[in-house]
Protein backbone atom coordinates (compact mmCIF):
# COMPACT_ATOMS: atom_id res chain seq x y z
CA UNK A 1 0.00 0.00 0.00
CA UNK A 2 2.83 2.33 0.99
CA UNK A 3 4.74 1.60 -2.23
CA UNK A 4 1.61 2.08 -4.23
CA UNK A 5 1.09 5.51 -2.70
CA UNK A 6 4.66 6.57 -3.36
CA UNK A 7 4.52 5.26 -6.89
CA UNK A 8 1.24 7.09 -7.48
CA UNK A 9 2.69 10.30 -6.13
CA UNK A 10 5.69 10.05 -8.43
CA UNK A 11 3.48 9.35 -11.42
CA UNK A 12 1.24 12.30 -10.54
CA UNK A 13 4.22 14.58 -10.00
CA UNK A 14 5.87 13.60 -13.25
CA UNK A 15 2.57 13.92 -15.07
CA UNK A 16 2.20 17.44 -13.71
CA UNK A 17 5.54 18.41 -15.24
CA UNK A 18 4.64 17.20 -18.71
CA UNK A 19 3.26 19.73 -21.14
CA UNK A 20 -0.43 19.64 -21.58
CA UNK A 21 -1.44 17.70 -24.64
CA UNK A 22 -2.50 19.99 -27.44
CA UNK A 23 -6.22 20.19 -27.86
CA UNK A 24 -7.69 18.50 -30.89
CA UNK A 25 -7.69 20.72 -33.95
CA UNK A 26 -10.71 22.93 -34.16
CA UNK A 27 -12.19 24.36 -37.32
CA UNK A 28 -10.70 27.73 -38.25
CA UNK A 29 -12.76 30.73 -37.25
CA UNK A 30 -10.54 33.46 -38.65
CA UNK A 31 -9.24 34.98 -41.82
CA UNK A 32 -6.03 36.92 -42.35
CA UNK A 33 -5.33 40.58 -42.79
CA UNK A 34 -2.06 41.52 -44.41
CA UNK A 35 -1.05 45.16 -43.99
CA UNK A 36 1.72 46.36 -46.27
CA UNK A 37 3.44 49.74 -46.14
CA UNK A 38 4.50 50.77 -49.62
CA UNK A 39 5.60 54.01 -51.26
CA UNK A 40 5.16 55.86 -54.51
CA UNK A 41 6.45 59.13 -55.89
CA UNK A 42 3.58 61.10 -57.31
CA UNK A 43 2.03 57.90 -58.58
CA UNK A 44 5.22 56.31 -59.88
CA UNK A 45 6.75 53.30 -58.14
CA UNK A 46 9.20 54.57 -55.55
CA UNK A 47 12.70 53.19 -55.23
CA UNK A 48 15.38 54.54 -52.94
CA UNK A 49 18.34 56.15 -54.75
CA UNK A 50 16.33 56.73 -57.94
CA UNK A 51 15.95 60.29 -59.18
CA UNK A 52 12.51 61.87 -59.32
CA UNK A 53 11.42 65.23 -60.66
CA UNK A 54 9.81 67.31 -57.95
CA UNK A 55 8.42 70.76 -57.32
CA UNK A 56 10.55 73.84 -58.15
CA UNK A 57 11.99 71.72 -60.98
CA UNK A 58 14.23 70.04 -58.47
CA UNK A 59 15.36 66.45 -58.82
CA UNK A 60 15.33 64.40 -55.66
CA UNK A 61 17.21 61.26 -54.75
CA UNK A 62 15.91 59.74 -51.54
CA UNK A 63 18.55 57.68 -49.76
CA UNK A 64 16.88 56.87 -46.45
CA UNK A 65 13.20 56.69 -45.60
CA UNK A 66 12.09 55.01 -42.42
CA UNK A 67 9.71 55.57 -39.55
CA UNK A 68 8.34 53.93 -36.44
CA UNK A 69 4.70 53.00 -36.13
CA UNK A 70 3.03 52.48 -32.76
CA UNK A 71 -0.34 50.78 -32.29
CA UNK A 72 -2.00 49.81 -35.56
CA UNK A 73 -5.76 49.28 -35.41
CA UNK A 74 -8.35 47.88 -37.79
CA UNK A 75 -11.47 50.00 -37.52
CA UNK A 76 -15.10 49.00 -37.80
CA UNK A 77 -17.87 51.30 -38.97
CA UNK A 78 -19.43 50.94 -35.52
CA UNK A 79 -16.49 52.89 -34.15
CA UNK A 80 -14.91 49.85 -32.50
CA UNK A 81 -11.35 49.02 -33.36
CA UNK A 82 -9.04 46.08 -32.88
CA UNK A 83 -5.31 46.45 -32.32
CA UNK A 84 -3.60 44.37 -34.96
CA UNK A 85 0.04 45.28 -34.33
CA UNK A 86 1.64 47.07 -31.40
CA UNK A 87 4.83 48.22 -33.05
CA UNK A 88 6.46 48.27 -36.45
CA UNK A 89 9.65 49.69 -37.91
CA UNK A 90 8.99 50.64 -41.53
CA UNK A 91 12.20 50.93 -43.50
CA UNK A 92 12.07 51.31 -47.26
CA UNK A 93 15.55 49.84 -47.52
CA UNK A 94 13.81 46.54 -46.83
CA UNK A 95 12.16 44.65 -49.64
CA UNK A 96 8.93 44.40 -47.69
CA UNK A 97 7.28 46.20 -44.82
CA UNK A 98 4.28 44.04 -44.15
CA UNK A 99 2.73 41.89 -41.46
CA UNK A 100 -0.14 39.44 -41.37
CA UNK A 101 -2.55 38.95 -38.54
CA UNK A 102 -5.46 36.56 -37.97
CA UNK A 103 -8.76 38.32 -37.53
CA UNK A 104 -12.40 37.55 -37.03
CA UNK A 105 -14.29 37.55 -40.33
CA UNK A 106 -16.30 40.67 -40.91
CA UNK A 107 -16.34 44.04 -42.54
CA UNK A 108 -13.91 46.72 -41.51
CA UNK A 109 -13.82 50.41 -42.34
CA UNK A 110 -10.17 51.34 -42.27
CA UNK A 111 -6.80 51.38 -40.54
CA UNK A 112 -5.39 53.83 -38.05
CA UNK A 113 -1.94 53.98 -36.54
CA UNK A 114 0.37 56.15 -34.49
CA UNK A 115 3.22 57.72 -36.44
CA UNK A 116 6.12 57.68 -34.02
CA UNK A 117 6.30 56.30 -30.50
CA UNK A 118 3.72 57.37 -27.96
CA UNK A 119 4.65 58.90 -24.64
CA UNK A 120 4.28 55.62 -22.77
CA UNK A 121 7.36 54.22 -24.47
CA UNK A 122 9.14 57.18 -26.00
CA UNK A 123 11.38 57.84 -23.04
CA UNK A 124 12.11 54.26 -22.06
CA UNK A 125 15.42 52.44 -22.27
CA UNK A 126 15.51 50.62 -25.63
CA UNK A 127 18.05 48.11 -24.32
CA UNK A 128 15.39 46.80 -21.92
CA UNK A 129 12.99 45.81 -24.70
CA UNK A 130 13.24 42.22 -25.97
CA UNK A 131 15.17 41.89 -29.24
CA UNK A 132 11.96 40.86 -31.00
CA UNK A 133 10.42 44.27 -30.30
CA UNK A 134 10.54 46.64 -33.27
CA UNK A 135 11.68 49.48 -31.02
CA UNK A 136 14.38 47.47 -29.23
CA UNK A 137 17.94 48.58 -29.52
CA UNK A 138 18.62 45.48 -31.59
CA UNK A 139 16.20 46.55 -34.30
CA UNK A 140 15.85 50.31 -34.02
CA UNK A 141 19.33 51.20 -32.83
CA UNK A 142 19.60 54.03 -35.33
CA UNK A 143 16.20 55.44 -34.41
CA UNK A 144 17.05 56.73 -30.97
CA UNK A 145 18.29 60.13 -29.92
CA UNK A 146 21.35 59.37 -27.85
CA UNK A 147 21.84 62.86 -26.45
CA UNK A 148 18.27 63.05 -25.13
CA UNK A 149 16.20 60.03 -24.30
CA UNK A 150 13.59 59.44 -26.95
CA UNK A 151 13.05 57.91 -30.34
CA UNK A 152 13.65 59.36 -33.74
CA UNK A 153 10.22 58.81 -35.24
CA UNK A 154 11.15 59.46 -38.85
CA UNK A 155 14.30 59.65 -40.91
CA UNK A 156 14.17 61.00 -44.43
CA UNK A 157 17.53 61.74 -46.06
CA UNK A 158 18.85 62.24 -49.54
CA UNK A 159 20.34 64.58 -52.09
CA UNK A 160 18.73 67.01 -54.48
CA UNK A 161 19.49 68.90 -57.62
CA UNK A 162 18.22 72.33 -56.69
CA UNK A 163 19.45 74.15 -59.79
CA UNK A 164 15.92 74.16 -61.18
CA UNK A 165 17.20 72.90 -64.54
CA UNK A 166 16.43 69.20 -64.00
CA UNK A 167 19.95 68.48 -65.21
CA UNK A 168 22.25 69.73 -62.45
CA UNK A 169 24.22 67.69 -59.95
CA UNK A 170 22.47 66.29 -56.90
CA UNK A 171 24.69 68.15 -54.46
CA UNK A 172 22.21 69.51 -51.96
CA UNK A 173 22.10 67.18 -48.98
CA UNK A 174 18.89 67.09 -47.01
CA UNK A 175 17.79 65.33 -43.84
CA UNK A 176 14.62 65.38 -41.79
CA UNK A 177 15.01 63.58 -38.47
CA UNK A 178 11.90 64.09 -36.45
CA UNK A 179 10.99 62.84 -33.01
CA UNK A 180 9.45 64.43 -29.94
CA UNK A 181 6.31 63.81 -27.92
CA UNK A 182 4.67 66.76 -29.60
CA UNK A 183 5.36 65.29 -33.04
CA UNK A 184 3.51 62.01 -32.45
CA UNK A 185 0.61 61.84 -34.89
CA UNK A 186 -2.34 59.51 -35.33
CA UNK A 187 -3.03 58.63 -38.93
CA UNK A 188 -6.60 57.59 -39.66
CA UNK A 189 -7.30 56.10 -43.08
CA UNK A 190 -10.72 55.02 -44.34
CA UNK A 191 -11.05 52.00 -46.60
CA UNK A 192 -13.72 49.34 -46.39
CA UNK A 193 -12.43 45.80 -46.51
CA UNK A 194 -13.66 42.37 -45.59
CA UNK A 195 -12.00 39.53 -43.78
CA UNK A 196 -13.23 36.20 -45.01
CA UNK A 197 -12.82 32.84 -43.37
CA UNK A 198 -9.48 31.20 -44.25
CA UNK A 199 -8.65 33.90 -46.78
CA UNK A 200 -6.08 36.69 -46.74
CA UNK A 201 -7.04 40.27 -47.47
CA UNK A 202 -4.21 42.69 -48.21
CA UNK A 203 -4.46 46.36 -47.39
CA UNK A 204 -1.79 48.75 -48.62
CA UNK A 205 -0.76 51.85 -46.69
CA UNK A 206 0.73 53.91 -49.48
CA UNK A 207 3.11 56.80 -48.83
CA UNK A 208 3.51 59.40 -51.55
CA UNK A 209 7.11 60.52 -51.08
CA UNK A 210 6.54 63.56 -53.28
CA UNK A 211 4.12 64.88 -50.65
CA UNK A 212 6.81 64.84 -47.97
CA UNK A 213 8.07 68.11 -49.39
CA UNK A 214 5.12 69.28 -51.42
CA UNK A 215 1.71 69.18 -49.79
CA UNK A 216 -1.57 70.96 -50.19
CA UNK A 217 -0.85 73.62 -47.61
CA UNK A 218 2.93 73.79 -47.48
CA UNK A 219 5.97 73.21 -49.63
CA UNK A 220 9.49 72.76 -48.31
CA UNK A 221 12.13 74.31 -50.55
CA UNK A 222 15.25 72.22 -50.13
CA UNK A 223 17.42 75.09 -51.19
CA UNK A 224 16.37 76.92 -48.03
CA UNK A 225 15.08 74.33 -45.57
CA UNK A 226 17.16 71.22 -45.95
CA UNK A 227 17.78 69.78 -42.52
CA UNK A 228 16.45 69.32 -39.04
CA UNK A 229 17.29 67.10 -36.11
CA UNK A 230 14.03 68.33 -34.56
CA UNK A 231 15.40 70.20 -31.55
CA UNK A 232 17.77 72.29 -33.63
CA UNK A 233 14.90 73.40 -35.87
CA UNK A 234 11.57 72.43 -34.37
CA UNK A 235 9.49 74.60 -36.74
CA UNK A 236 10.88 72.78 -39.78
CA UNK A 237 10.43 69.40 -38.08
CA UNK A 238 6.81 70.29 -37.38
CA UNK A 239 6.25 71.31 -40.98
CA UNK A 240 7.74 68.06 -42.21
CA UNK A 241 5.60 65.97 -39.87
CA UNK A 242 2.50 67.87 -40.99
CA UNK A 243 3.32 67.04 -44.61
CA UNK A 244 4.19 63.43 -43.78
CA UNK A 245 0.95 62.82 -41.91
CA UNK A 246 -1.00 63.90 -44.99
CA UNK A 247 1.07 61.81 -47.39
CA UNK A 248 -0.49 58.43 -46.59
CA UNK A 249 -3.34 56.83 -48.49
CA UNK A 250 -4.91 53.41 -48.24
CA UNK A 251 -6.10 50.96 -50.87
CA UNK A 252 -6.66 47.30 -51.46
Nearer to other proteins, 71 or 177 (CB): 177
Least Cα distance to 97 among 38, 19, 182 occurs for 38
Rounded to the nearest whole angstrom, what is the least distance from the CB of residue 86 to other proteins in the complex? 21
Which helix (H) or strand (E) is 40 found in, with range?
A: strand 31-41
Nearer to other proteins, 74 or 152 (CB): 152
Nearer to other proteins, 11 or 197 (CB): 11
Distance separating alpha carbons of residues 142 and 33, to the nearest angstrom: 29
Rounded to the nearest whole angstrom, what is the least distance from the CB of residue 11 to other proteins in the complex? 12
> CA torsion sign, 77 to 248 to 154 to 38?
positive
Nearer to other proteins, 127 or 196 (CB): 127
Rounded to the nearest whole angstrom, what is the least distance from the CB of residue 117 to other proteins in the complex? 15
Distance separating alpha carbons of residues 75 and 192, to the nearest angstrom: 9
226 φψ region: left (φ > 0), alpha (ψ -120 to 50), beta (else) = alpha
Nearer to other proteins, 99 or 145 (CB): 145
Least Cα distance to 185 among 235, 243, 109, 145 occurs for 243
Distance separating alpha carbons of residues 165 and 58, to the nearest angstrom: 7
Nearer to other proteins, 144 or 248 (CB): 144
Nearer to other proteins, 48 or 234 (CB): 234
Distance separating alpha carbons of residues 181 and 183, to the nearest angstrom: 5
Strands (E), 76-216: 81-91, 98-103, 106-115, 144-145, 150-151, 154-161, 172-178, 185-195, 200-208
Rounded to the nearest whole angstrom, what is the least distance from the CB of residue 133 to other proteins in the complex? 13
Q: Which residues bind other proteins (CB under 8 A)?
A: 1-2, 5-6, 9-10, 13, 123, 125, 127-128, 137-138, 141-142, 144-149, 231-232, 234
CA angle 212, 157, 131 (to 5 degrees): 105
Amino acid sequence: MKNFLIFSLIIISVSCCKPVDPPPPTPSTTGNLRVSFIANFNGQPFVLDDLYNATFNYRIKSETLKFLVHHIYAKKSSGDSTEINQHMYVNFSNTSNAFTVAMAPGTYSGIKFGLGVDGSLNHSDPSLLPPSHSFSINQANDMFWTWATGYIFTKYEGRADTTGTLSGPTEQLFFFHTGADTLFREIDLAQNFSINLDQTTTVYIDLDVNKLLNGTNDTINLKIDNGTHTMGNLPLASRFVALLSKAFSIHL
